[in-house]
Structure 1
Amino acid sequence: MSQDVILPIPAPISDRLGTADADQGAIYFEKNCTGCHLFEPELGDSTGPNLSNVVGRDKASRPFPNGYSKTLLGLEGNWTYEDLNTFLSGPAITTPGTRMDSRGAPDETDRANLIAYLRTLSDDPVPLP
């Protein structure tokens, strides 16, 4: 008999984004994400895909020479604030099969700040809810 697996889903982040600190998110990104991700479009990719314009972009749609996992390729739709919230709360836990083995941003404040920062990397930022 198989057991049902219930994946963790963090509390909604939308209400926190209006007061999130993108500058703190930039510091978090620099300390925790730049080992694998770049954010300047002209720099291309690193171990992970470039994150410029990630908010609102179709999931696993940016050309990425290292290839996306089957898990990410199977995700539909655009990266919404809530999708990023879930994914970044613990990529390996919330999205089993992803190649991102980072712990993500388990702290809700750090995650809100990081998402606010990722929003600033968009040429045409998705409006806050």
Structure 2
Amino acid sequence: MNDRGNTIAGWVLAGGIVALGLTIVSGEYFHPERPEKMGYVVTGVEAEAGAGDAPAEKPFETYMAAADPAKGADVFKKCTACHNADKGGANALGPNLYGVVGEAIGQGANGFAFSDALKSKGGTWNFDELNKWLTSPKAYAPGTKMTFAGLSKPEDRANVIAYLNQQSASPQPLPAAK
């Protein structure tokens, strides 16, 4: 670098240091005023409208009654990175899910090594348990090996469960809407 380049670099560096110093000093003198309640006031709207007026969530049986296994097959494509639902298929990163509906939780076929958290749950994979699992595997069985975050939409969960139910030698009847 020549002398002119060093001079320019020095002035740029000095300017940056001055700007940083002014930011720090001005932060000591000027403090933002935080409102007691965060947000904006919208005129013409009731103050307490909101959470209490939200419609109640439908029972999951309603979603199951309207479930579409074909849509569930599309949603299940997310799961195929770790699972398959083929009859006689091998376990992958996750267990083979053929015949999972009605199967004991944490047991599985083909000798998959389930986490202790899932083995200790007990019970069987019915529609309700699968719904809880697919909502959030980590909340359902803290310490599980499954890293999937879950399916947030109840329609997607119902469709996947209906699809998995079909992937069985003896599918369970879907519940009727209440």
Same fold (TM over 0.5): yes
- The C-alpha deviation readout for 1:43-83, integer Å capped at 9, x for no partner, is 21000000000001111222455511001110111101000
Partner residue, 1:17: 64
User: Is it true that 1:80 corresponds to 2:132 in the alignment?
Assistant: no
Which residue matches 2:15? none
Return 5+ residue gaps in structure 2 as ranges: 1-56
- Tell me the matched-pair count: 119
Is the 8 Å Cα contact of residues 89 and 106 (structure 1) preserved in structure 2? yes
Amino acid at match of 1:67: A
Q: Say if 1:13 and 1:81, in contact at 8 Å, map to a contact too.
A: no
In the TM superposition, residue 11 of structure 1 has moved relative to its aligned partner by: 6.8
Q: Say if 2:112 is the partner of 1:56.
A: no
Give the TM-score taking structure 1 as reference length.
0.84
Q: Is structure 2 residue 91 aligned with structure 1 residue 45?
A: yes
SS in 2 for 1:113: helix
What letter corresponds to residue 103 of structure 1 in structure 2?
A
Shift of 1:93: 2.3
Distance 1:121 1:77 in 2: 20
Structure 2 length-normalised TM: 0.62
Higher RCO, Cα 8 Å, sep 6+? 1
3-state SS in 2 of match to 1:40: coil
Q: Deviations over 1:5-50 (max 9, x none)?
A: xxxxx974222111111111100101x1000001113221000000
Alpha-carbon RMSD: 1.7
Superposed CA deviations along residues 95-124 of structure 1, whole A, max 9, x for unmatched, are 211111101212111111111111110110
Indicate the percent of aligned positions where both proteins have the same amino acid.
36
